[in-house]
Chain A
Amino acid sequence: MTAYILRRFLHLIPTFLGATFLAFLVIQLAPGDFITRLELDPSYDRSQIENFRRLFGLDQPFTVQYAKWLSGFLKGYLGLSLSYQTDVWSVLKPRILNSMVLVVASVLFIYVVSIPIGIYSALRQYSWGDRFWTTFAFFGLAVPNFFFALLMLYFALWLKDIVGHEVFPIGGMRSLYIDGADFFEAPKWKQWLNILWHAVLPVIVAGTAGTAGLMRVMRTQMLETKMQDYVRTARAKGLAERVVIYKHILRNAVIPIVASIGFLLPELFGGAGFVEIVMAWPGLTPLILDAIFSIDVYIIMGSISISVVLLMIGNLLSDLLLAWVDPRIRYR
């Protein structure tokens, strides 16, 4: 087992080099660079534009740029952001933490909501309840995230009109004031309560598609396991239906879902997606989108390389988890 894990870790090195080099290449292949925007500003002379390129190292061949970035990365330095002129990690860190609030909450939301519903749907297949949740799942998978977020904003506004005060905030992550004083002067627990209150609608938006998907997976798994011989055997032994469902069916049905937990790792650091933009959540997505528009190479690369590393570790964890929950699997 130890040898297996060690071997997997060695495999990470070429994968990482390949993935980051490819990412760097793709960014370079796109026309233009960080300075291109200034080129259509009539007030700059050509020599000034060239000077900017020189200062930012954009005039060097891209293999040199990549080598410099890589040697920095190996020393634990993600590079200097072109637009912030400060190191990439200090730009990414607060955004990742903000996103994590949404990601953790929506993952919890997804699991807590979809697993019971999946079980219910499988046990009462083709009942009205099952049909309702199936319809819901189609809706959840089909509605675009950004549009749903916009609907939620207007819902919050509408609710405010009806009730007369703010039931849910209109976007953002923190209120300006708590009890009339500045947010940061309030006690910590009130600050956290305020953040969670802001997170309710974004979490619903971010979690809906995931819930819908996982619900369907759980239902299928349950239905498939229900047909297994050992389930029939368990029933024949005269076990109580509750024991059959929870000890025999559920335990086996949930294996692939447990195994996929490892994949959550990169998600935790990957931002919650477009909901952050529409609902003004100061997470990673708006930052990355900004960086892509302005071609701030090192912010993009920093985020990609963190994702790549975590994806690889998450993959490994998933495999190990699978071996742990499923005694049929052995690694050598």
Chain B
Amino acid sequence: MKKPIWILAVLALGALALAQPKVFKVPNAAENPVFGGDFRDWTTSDPKTFNPFVAKETSSTDVIQLMLPTLTDYDPYTGAPEGLLAKSWEVKNNGLTIVFHLREGAKWSDGQPITADDVVFSAKVHSDPDVGSNSIKSFELDGSPIVWTKIDDYTVQADFPKPYAPALIQGWYIVPKHVFEKAYESGKVAEMWDVGTDPAAVVSGGPFMLDQYVQGERVVLKKNPNFWGVDEKGNQLPYLDRYVFTVVADRNAAMAKFLAGELDLYAASDADQVSQIIERIDDGKLDASIFPNADVTTGTNFIFFNWNSDDPWKAQLFRNKKFRQAMAHLMDKDSMIELALGGLGQPQWSPISIPVKQFFTDDVAKFEYDPAKAAELLAEIGFRSKNAQGVLTDAAGRPLEFRLSTNQGNNVREKIAQIFAEDANKIGVNVKYAPIAFNELVRQILNTRDFDAILIGLTGGREPAFGRNVWELDGPLHMWNYGPDFESFEILIDKLMKQGATTLEQSKRREIYVRFQQVVAENLPLAYTVAPAYNPARLNNVGGLFSKDQINSLEGQYPYNYPVTVFKKK
């Protein structure tokens, strides 16, 4: 007789333990989820570590993010900040202080509670310069520290040196203090959770936990029964039993695996791959769907000029707005999309990526492909006659020529550069194009400054404030001009970036960044070219994915960055 009461007590405790689960919204509420099954994904290179303080690249963080929680992230449906481990927050003190309330009852996979101690400890380790965490950037604002303190077991407070708009996005990984503390105190935190660690020793606070790791081959994660998330019907998440990453270094080989039905998701890289997948679906050999050109990726490709050139003539020329506008008129973006991107992609005119809907605007100056207009603009700045080689010259007879480089091995950029150089040469602008190694390119940009023009891209994201190192006057990536002479529009951009980062109200922020995009598009410090398409494909027996109009390249094919809503249909 005693037993049922004891069980009831445990059940009640269990219910209490999950008193504040996070409700994850599924993309399509009409679908009936199926529990169990393996989700088969792929990666081009295997994780280098499971330690978030060591991870330096996405191959590692792609796995870590399935296991270690963050306080907040973007809502996958609206783009607004959303609580993950933090269930709510209060902004105080004009935005200088934010108090985060944690989910009570959330547990690590080893049964220990996830508390404020874990959060504050993780912040301490991430911000320690002797640890070398990549997330250190989240703990400094213009050189001043962001201070994290514990209020009580389930409340933490962050104090900012000044109001900071992206403050609600706290995307650094929280580790279990009871596992890491000893190692940190003895200065050995970097040795934790390397690839040789027993998978069972890697404690998870996310939807999945490590099951197997076979170096260079695969990572298998299994469902974490202690995960603090449920769906809208109250079902414990995730639905899947296992999440399997297969390491396939070669894109074509990965596609062959998808065509054989051995991968559940794939994103086709170009029109050729898209047509191969469509052909196989049409032949009835693959039960799958593909959405070509569903969105564009956040990667950017732009050309910029060296305003600090040792040659004063060139420095003067590159500083001239009309020159840059003429160059923009020479970018045949339709041909670039056709030839460099295989027909799938979109022209880009301004710095904020098209998928970042909250800030992106199409209402900017567009210097469309128009060689005649370009020639006209060049004539206005003095290039009126041509020499014997057919190159435009200025009044002093100096021919209009410059070097253009991009990073070798990037086929898309190499083709874009060639198309631009050819069109420019046609009207008498002698562009000498030569690709060079990426690291050499970086050295030229940051150290030697002996280039004329470079076609390159920067890691894009959804938060424009994170671009401050590019746009602020003293930013280390203010690549076209390291001063000391700045044009007035550069000073305006600097001001807009600073305002954008410190304005908390969303609608005002949008206004600021719209203005920012307009100023950049008009003055072209960076002249944007084209953005590659995002062409996701999936097997039809995978459920819980975004529908065609929900798909965006920022989130991928499913919400929340981890397949917590994904399931395999029977």
- B379 to chain A minimum Cβ distance, whole angstroms, is 36
B191 within 8 A of A: yes
Within 8 A of A (CB), among B502-541: none
- Give Cα A41–Cα B475 distance, bound, in whole angstroms: 12
- Give Cα A157–Cα B286 distance, bound, in whole angstroms: 12
B446 within 8 A of A: yes
The contact of B48 among A83, A94, A286, by CB within 8 Å, is A83
Residue among A49, A56, A154, A290 having the largest count of chain B Cβ atoms under 10 Å: A290
The contact of A280 among B194, B250, B458, by CB within 8 Å, is B250
Are B249 and A44 touching (Cβ within 8 A)? no
- Give Cα A156–Cα B256 distance, bound, in whole angstroms: 9
Are B257 and A171 touching (Cβ within 8 A)? yes
Contact flag A282-B215 (CB < 8 Å), given A40-B442, A154-B256: yes
- B interface footprint on A172-215 (CB within 8 Å = 1, 0 otherwise): 11101000001010000000000000000000000000000000
- Give Cα A94–Cα B218 distance, bound, in whole angstroms: 13
Contact flag A86-B195 (CB < 8 Å), given A40-B477, A43-B466: yes
- Give Cα A208–Cα B194 distance, bound, in whole angstroms: 38
Q: Which of B70-78, B226-234, B433-441 contacts A (4 or more CB under 8 A)?
A: B433-441
B275 within 8 A of A: no
- Give Cα A90–Cα B442 distance, bound, in whole angstroms: 32
Within 8 A of B (CB), among A5-63: 30-33, 36-49, 51-52, 55-56
CB nearest to A84 among chain B residues: B48
- Give Cα A51–Cα B458 distance, bound, in whole angstroms: 22
CB nearest to B459 among chain A residues: A41
B330 within 8 A of A: no
Contacts of A44 in B (CB 8 A): 137, 469
Are A172 and B217 touching (Cβ within 8 A)? yes
- Give Cα A41–Cα B140 distance, bound, in whole angstroms: 16
Contacts of A38 in B (CB 8 A): 56, 134
A115 within 8 A of B: no
B476 within 8 A of A: yes
Are A32 and B217 touching (Cβ within 8 A)? no
A279 within 8 A of B: yes
- B269 to chain A minimum Cβ distance, whole angstroms, is 15
Residue among A55, A84, A94 having the largest count of chain B Cβ atoms under 10 Å: A84
Are A55 and B130 touching (Cβ within 8 A)? yes
Contact flag A45-B476 (CB < 8 Å), given A40-B442, A283-B216: yes
Contact flag A150-B466 (CB < 8 Å), given A32-B438, A36-B442, A40-B442: no
- A139 to chain B minimum Cβ distance, whole angstroms, is 22
Contact flag A42-B467 (CB < 8 Å), given A51-B129, A85-B51, A176-B38: yes
- B570 to chain A minimum Cβ distance, whole angstroms, is 16
CB nearest to A93 among chain B residues: B215
- Give Cα A194–Cα B48 distance, bound, in whole angstroms: 26
- Give Cα A95–Cα B136 distance, bound, in whole angstroms: 32
Are B132 and A173 touching (Cβ within 8 A)? no
- Give Cα A150–Cα B255 distance, bound, in whole angstroms: 11
Are B442 and A282 touching (Cβ within 8 A)? no
Q: Contact residue range for chain A?
A: 35 or more
Are A161 and B285 touching (Cβ within 8 A)? yes
The contact of B253 among A33, A47, A171, by CB within 8 Å, is A171
A278 within 8 A of B: yes
Q: Which of B240-248, B331-339, B397-405 contacts A (4 or more CB under 8 A)?
A: B240-248
B391 within 8 A of A: no
CB nearest to B256 among chain A residues: A153
- Give Cα A83–Cα B54 distance, bound, in whole angstroms: 8
B57 within 8 A of A: yes
Are A45 and B48 touching (Cβ within 8 A)? no
Are B214 and A174 touching (Cβ within 8 A)? yes
The contact of A32 among B54, B214, B442, by CB within 8 Å, is B442
Contacts of A303 in B (CB 8 A): none
Contacts of B215 in A (CB 8 A): 91, 94-95, 282
Are B249 and A277 touching (Cβ within 8 A)? yes
B45 within 8 A of A: yes
Contact flag A173-B217 (CB < 8 Å), given A39-B442, A42-B458, A86-B194: yes
- Give Cα A280–Cα B137 distance, bound, in whole angstroms: 35
Contact flag A286-B132 (CB < 8 Å), given A40-B459, A42-B469, A278-B250: no
Contact flag A31-B443 (CB < 8 Å), given A42-B459, A277-B249: yes
A121 within 8 A of B: no
- B interface footprint on A280-297 (CB within 8 Å = 1, 0 otherwise): 101100110110001100
- Give Cα A31–Cα B444 distance, bound, in whole angstroms: 10
- B30 to chain A minimum Cβ distance, whole angstroms, is 31
B212 within 8 A of A: yes
Q: Do most interface residues of chain B lie in helix, strand or loop, or is the interface mixed?
A: mixed
B456 within 8 A of A: yes
Within 8 A of B (CB), among A88-144: 90-91, 94-95, 98
Residue among B38, B246, B260 having the largest count of chain A Cβ atoms under 10 Å: B260
Contacts of B456 in A (CB 8 A): 40
Contacts of B439 in A (CB 8 A): 30-33, 36, 295
- Give Cα A66–Cα B244 distance, bound, in whole angstroms: 40
Are B249 and A157 touching (Cβ within 8 A)? no
Are A95 and B256 touching (Cβ within 8 A)? no
CB nearest to A52 among chain B residues: B132
Q: Contact residue range for chain B?
A: 35 or more
A248 within 8 A of B: no
A160 within 8 A of B: yes
CB nearest to A294 among chain B residues: B57
Contacts of A31 in B (CB 8 A): 437, 439-440, 442-443
- B369 to chain A minimum Cβ distance, whole angstroms, is 28
- B103 to chain A minimum Cβ distance, whole angstroms, is 28
A170 within 8 A of B: yes
- Give Cα A48–Cα B137 distance, bound, in whole angstroms: 8
- Give Cα A285–Cα B213 distance, bound, in whole angstroms: 19
Are B195 and A91 touching (Cβ within 8 A)? yes
Are B194 and A160 touching (Cβ within 8 A)? no
Are A184 and B137 touching (Cβ within 8 A)? no
The contact of B250 among A30, A154, A184, A277, by CB within 8 Å, is A277
- Give Cα A41–Cα B56 distance, bound, in whole angstroms: 12
CB nearest to B138 among chain A residues: A43
B259 within 8 A of A: yes
Contact flag A39-B38 (CB < 8 Å), given A45-B469, A170-B256: no
B385 within 8 A of A: no
Contacts of A172 in B (CB 8 A): 217, 246, 248
- A285 to chain B minimum Cβ distance, whole angstroms, is 9
Contacts of B249 in A (CB 8 A): 277-278, 280, 286, 289-290
Are B137 and A290 touching (Cβ within 8 A)? no
Are B469 and A84 touching (Cβ within 8 A)? no
CB nearest to A184 among chain B residues: B212
- Give Cα A52–Cα B133 distance, bound, in whole angstroms: 9
Are B216 and A282 touching (Cβ within 8 A)? yes
Contacts of A294 in B (CB 8 A): 57
B262 within 8 A of A: yes
Within 8 A of A (CB), among B190-247: 190-191, 194-196, 212, 214-218, 220, 244, 246-247
- B215 to chain A minimum Cβ distance, whole angstroms, is 5
The contact of B244 among A94, A176, A184, by CB within 8 Å, is A176
Contacts of B257 in A (CB 8 A): 170-171, 280
Contacts of B438 in A (CB 8 A): 32, 36
B168 within 8 A of A: no
Given contacts A171-B256, A286-B249, 15 further A-B contacts (CB under 8 A): A31-B437, A40-B445, A42-B467, A42-B470, A45-B137, A45-B476, A46-B476, A81-B48, A85-B190, A157-B256, A176-B246, A280-B249, A282-B46, A286-B247, A289-B249
9 tightest CB-CB pairs across the interface, nearest first?
Answer: A32-B439, A282-B216, A86-B194, A282-B217, A31-B440, A55-B132, A31-B439, A280-B248, A83-B48
Q: Which residues of A contact B (CB under 8 A)?
A: 30-33, 36-49, 51-52, 55-56, 81, 83-86, 90-91, 94-95, 98, 150, 153-154, 156-157, 160-161, 166, 170-174, 176, 182, 184, 277-280, 282-283, 286-287, 289-290, 294-295
8 pairs, CB–CB < 8 Å, chain A vs chain B: A30-B439, A39-B442, A47-B143, A48-B137, A81-B48, A170-B262, A171-B253, A171-B256
